[in-house]
Amino acid sequence: MPGPLVFTFLLAKGLRGKTFTKEASMFLVVSTLLLAATLASSQRFDVRDLAISAGAVAPVAVGMVIGQRLRDAVPALIFRRLVLIVVLASGIELVRKAIFS
């Protein structure tokens, strides 16, 4: 789950608005393609797994569209804070799972 680290890095670089969204989206696309290529080369990856993975792309695409619209509607400072809150919540969830699993 490298997303939160990458998003924090992009914010630390000072990226805002469309530039932030573009680079974050590129990261997600490239990492997804690499993961898909790795899984497809595995002998344990079958048609059922491919169907499930393809189905999981739809909510991600919807989320990206909603995120782009929010980015345009929300002031830059609030958008930045929202991203940091989501990253923080993701980190807390990872720690919680590690402790209570």
Spatial neighbors of 81 by CB under 8 A, at least 6 apart, are none
Taking alpha carbons only, the member of 7, 1, 29, 3 closest to residue 83 is 7
91 pLDDT more than 80 = yes
- Where does the pLDDT of residue 1 fall: very low under 50, low under 70, confident under 90, or very high at 90 and above? low
For residue 96, what pLDDT is reported? 93
Q: Where are the domains of the chain?
A: 3-100
pLDDT tens-digit map of 30-87: 888 888 788 778 777 788 887 887 788 788 788 878 877 877 788 878 888 888 898 8
The reply to whether the predicted model has a pTM over 0.85 is: no
Q: Are 78 and 16 in contact (CB under 8 A)?
A: no
